[in-house]
Amino acid sequence: MSKLSRAVASPRVVNIEDLRPLARRRLPRAVFDYLDGGADGEVTLAENCNAFKEVTFRPHQAVTVPACDLRTRVLGFDLSFPAMLAPVGYSRIMHPGGEVVAARAAGAAGTAYILSTISGHSMEDVRAASSGPVFYQLYLVGGREAAEGSIARARVAGFSALVATIDTSIAGQRERDIRNGIKELLGGSLWAKVPFLPQVLSRPAWLIRFLLDGGIPALPNVIIPGKGPMPLIDVAAALAQANVTWQDLRWIRECWPGPLVVKGVLTGDDARRAVDAGAAAVVVSNHGGRQLDCVSATLRALPEVVAAVNGRAEVLMDGGIRRGSDIVKAICLGASAVLCGRAYAYGLSAAGEAGVTRAIEILRSGVERTLKLLGCASISALDSSYVSVPRSWDNS
């Protein structure tokens, strides 16, 4: 066992929350708070997790379940358990291996990885690293011409699905990022960086790895015609000019021959529109509480979306997943699978690939243990009879 593997092994790391302080100790405050924080008062960030506490289990007792079948299918792809790794931007700043090692860990665990447009590694390298399905999450930063180039590259590289994010008309106000000066630290002005440098210098091991990795990377998957890769510092401004509309989704559907996933749905109306635009799946998501604050927790929004889709497309969900029991609750309420972001990003920041692997192990074992305690032999057998939901969740 390597030193990093020991650092995240039991009993030091028993659950996902145990990975969080390890990540905090290894990262500069600006980078950790970018990963950990949310928009405005972080109400939705907290509610994404709190919603799981409101759903209680109804186990079938006096049932022996010697083995559980955790397998599921998403968009026709076999997964070892119903959780995929969500797109996490700036992953290479959290750890030099970034998206490559996260994809490799996902593939080794038999599940899917979703690569963010805001990636420091090329999509070809990420796709080659994984033995499992890899999806590409698309922002329209750089305009349609740049997006067309990314879509074509993703198709040639062998990506299995395209994930279009629709909740980033502008970047949400993440107050921790403003206080920590992440814009200034990523920018080109040395003088603007000076007030924020002590937090970087306080993490010399991270700083050495960061500098040896080449410093601030460009975005190798966003190629601006005539200019080359988009600088990482241009992302926030570019998002404000890259809102995905329903017309854009139809255009994307024409450009991409494989399954299209629409991420950022919180209402039944938008879910139906996404399916009408050609989505094979929708992701119930509020961007991890990082965009519009005070929207519904995703678990609360899930039943409405499932009812609206009515079997015409698959329904996935992200936001607040920290335990295997959270995953089981989402499946009981109609999700085909969930996307986990912060859960594995804490592991990536704490110990690279070993940390991602440990995060997946924790979630997988939690799913299996929960099924056995529920008296349920398989993921496919889960339904709403295994949970109780507060009456206050009924929007009707």
Q: What is the pLDDT of residues 99-134, one digit of tens each?
A: 999 999 999 999 999 999 999 999 999 999 999 999
Using the predicted structure, report yes or no on whether residue 238 has a pLDDT greater than 80.
Answer: no
Using the predicted structure, report yes or no on whether residue 245 has a pLDDT greater than 50.
Answer: yes
List Cβ<8 Å contacts ≥24 apart for 209-218: 209/95, 209/96, 210/93, 210/96, 212/96, 213/92, 213/96, 216/93, 216/186, 217/92, 217/120
User: Can you give the pLDDT at residue 186?
Assistant: 84
Which of 22-31, 136-145, 186-195 has the highest mean predicted lDDT (pLDDT)?
Answer: 22-31
Confidence of residue 392 (pLDDT cuts 50, 70, 90): confident
The predicted model gives 28-36 an average pLDDT of 96
d(CA 139, CA 326): 28
Question: At 213, phi and psi to the nearest 5?
Answer: -85, 0
* DSSP 8-state symbol, 378: B
Q: Which residues contact 10 (CB under 8 A, 6 or more apart)?
A: none
pTM of the model: 0.96
Task: Report the percent of the chain where pLDDT is more than 90.
Answer: 84
Confidence of residue 394 (pLDDT cuts 50, 70, 90): confident
User: Can you give the pLDDT at residue 169?
Assistant: 84
Using the predicted structure, report yes or no on whether residue 273 has a pLDDT greater than 80.
Answer: yes
Grouping H, G, I as helix, E, B as strand and the rest as coil, residue 281 is: strand
User: Can you give the pLDDT at residue 221?
Assistant: 95
The predicted model gives 327-331 an average pLDDT of 98
Q: What is the mean pLDDT of the chain?
A: 94
User: Can you give the pLDDT at residue 396?
Assistant: 43
287 is catalytic: yes
Confidence of residue 234 (pLDDT cuts 50, 70, 90): low
The predicted model gives 25-47 an average pLDDT of 97
Confidence of residue 271 (pLDDT cuts 50, 70, 90): very high
Confidence of residue 235 (pLDDT cuts 50, 70, 90): low
* Alpha-helical runs (H) found in 27-87: 29-36, 43-54
Query: pLDDT tens-digit profile of 45-85?
Result: 999 999 999 999 999 999 889 899 999 999 999 999 999 99
The predicted model gives 387-392 an average pLDDT of 92
Confidence of residue 335 (pLDDT cuts 50, 70, 90): very high
Catalytic pick from 60, 95, 121, 287?
287
Query: pLDDT tens-digit profile of 85-103?
Result: 999 999 999 999 999 999 9
Let me know if 69 is exposed, middle or buried by CB neighbors in 10 A (0-12, 13-18, 19+): middle
User: Can you give the pLDDT at residue 244?
Assistant: 87
